[in-house]
Amino acid sequence: MDNGSVQTQTRGYGVIYDSRITTAKVPPEFQTTEKKFTNRVVQFLRKQGWHVQRNGWVGVGNQFLKGFPDLVCVRDVVVFVEIKKADGTLRAEQQEWRNWVLDAGGIWELWRPQDWADVKERFK
């Protein structure tokens, strides 16, 4: 079964990592909530020595930054990560933040449960 393909692209000076599931039905091993997957990711990254800031709604004063990435991960680089369930899609605000990060030369990644093996390998 084809679980998806990894796409690494550049936009401006930034780097984007995205995987997309290509099957119509999400395999059972990838069916989990964003919250559960995020918990697993944060726990793993911290064990690997990453400093991880987990974001819900990020507020500045009394305004919220809609679409701000779920995780900001810092070790030898800074990586902005958006977490989605297996078949989740980005909202317009999340796409805007992705573009701003990439246009500024940052690293932005979209992780889904089907990316777990790759994430563990690349971020160990």
User: Quick one: three-class SS letters along 73-92?
Assistant: EECCCEEEEEECCCCCCCCH
pLDDT tens for 90-108 read: 999 999 999 999 999 999 9
> Which is more confident, 77 or 25?
77
- Which of these, 47, 20, 50, 7, lies nearest to 113 by C-alpha position? 20
Mapping DSSP to helix (H, G, I), strand (E, B) and coil, where does residue 118 land?
A: helix
Residues forming beta bridges with residue 53, ordered by sequence position: 72
Q: Please indicate, yes or no, whether the overall pTM of this predicted structure exceeds 0.85.
A: no
CA–CA separation, 123 and 114 (whole Å): 15
Whether the pLDDT of residue 25 is over 50: the answer is yes
Residue 23 predicted with pLDDT over 50: no
CATH number of 5-122: 3.40.1350.10
Q: What is the pLDDT of residues 31-41, one digit of tens each?
A: 788 888 999 99
Tokens of 106: 């940052």
d(CA 120, CA 48): 9
Per-residue exposure over 55-82, b if at least 16 CB sit within 10 Å of its own CB, e if not: eeeeeeeeeeeebbbbbbbeeeeebbbb
